Amino acid sequence: MRGRFIAFEGGEGAGKSTQARLLATALEARGLPVVVTREPGGTPGAEAIRQLLLAPPGEGWPAEAEALLFAAARADHVAHLIRPALQRGAWVICDRFVDSSRAYQGGAGGLGDEAITALHAFGSGGLRPDRVILLEGDEAALGARLAARGVEADAIEGRPAAYHRAVAAAFRTLAEADPKGFARLDAIGSPEAVHARILAAISDLLP
């Protein structure tokens, strides 16, 4: 029986990594096999591309090259980790997937949704999660979370506030166009409170 595929999406500081770990723990407690992964990354090839994207050489990548690199990392990730895990019945929990490319490169980056989805269709067979958990929150609150980390921003996190507002708007547009595929959840609150919202949002997928 095919496993389930859950992707966490949202802007910087939304708590995706934390919530992915909490969900994995909850599913494992139910006796379900779980694979937790991330994008870009998750496989040796995709992790190598991640380094090129988050710490780019020289002046950085033009938007088109950046989108191609994300698509290449995702194609390797899907072929070598995600599809095999789903085929053996595991739940795959991914910190970002194709909707990040649609929001960042397609929306804020100006490449358009058609270009990103065409790359995904070619590279990854158009694979979609069973449910996208979109974590949203007040810009100031999310910014405070980022500042509290005390970690230097990578090439994408460090882009101007206007860019990240455009990303948030693009995510909203994607979610509004696919209300069955997306669960829009408030990312503000304790990790436990947000986790409870997530469990409620995937209750229909649980065995």
CA distance 146 to 140: 10
Summarised one tens digit per residue, pLDDT across range 158-169 is: 888 899 999 999
Summarised one tens digit per residue, pLDDT across range 6-30 is: 999 998 889 999 999 999 999 999 9
- The closest alpha carbon to 186, from 127, 137, 123, belongs to 137
Q: State the average pLDDT over residues 168-173.
A: 96
Q: How confident is the model at residue 145 (pLDDT cuts 50, 70, 90)?
A: confident
Mean pLDDT of the chain: 94
pLDDT of 56 over the 90 cut: yes
Please tell me the pTM assigned to this model. Answer: 0.94
What domains can you pick out in the chain, each with its CATH number? Answer: 5-205 (3.40.50.300)
pLDDT of 150 over the 70 cut: no
Q: How confident is the model at residue 180 (pLDDT cuts 50, 70, 90)?
A: very high
What integer pLDDT is reported at residue 55 of this predicted model? Answer: 92
CA distance 91 to 110: 33
Q: In the beta sheet, which residues pair with residue 157?
A: none
